[in-house]
Structure 1
């Protein structure tokens, strides 16, 4: 029974954590900046709720995973 147990390992190699964190945080910040520019430059009548929600959700996902990989790269295993 003990022989069939495998240790838990990450699906992503540890060496990729810093690269993934920088990449995902950069993409998330660019999308966040695009969201703020869209909100500041469009008038109240021309705004689209679906575009706002989609942009916010995509930025949130990238920033969330980027923060996770940043913590993993620093040695904080969450």
Structure 2
């Protein structure tokens, strides 16, 4: 009747969690730094809302996944 249940496993090997955390957090921090540099060096007339939103969203995604893998690498399973 019922087939034997297959355990849930991560699509990413556990050994890659620390490397992914460092890589994603580093990329997210670089994009965040470029966002702050853009805000500090451009005048109010030359700023683009679309560029600010895209840069903020991309940085947020990288920092979010980097934080997730950092938590997973340290043993906090979320």
Write the distance in 2 (CA, Å) between the matches of 1:51 and 1:27. 17
For 1:66, the equivalent position in structure 2 comes to 66
Which of the pair is proportionally richer in helix?
A: 1
TM-score scaled by length of structure 2: 0.97
TM-score scaled by length of structure 1: 0.97
For 1:40, the equivalent position in structure 2 comes to 40
For 2:10, the equivalent position in structure 1 comes to 10
1:55 and 2:72 equivalent?
no
Write the distance in 2 (CA, Å) between the matches of 1:2 and 1:14. 27
1:75 and 2:75 equivalent?
yes
* Matched length: 77
Q: Shift in Å at residue 2 of structure 1?
A: 4.6
RMSD: 0.6
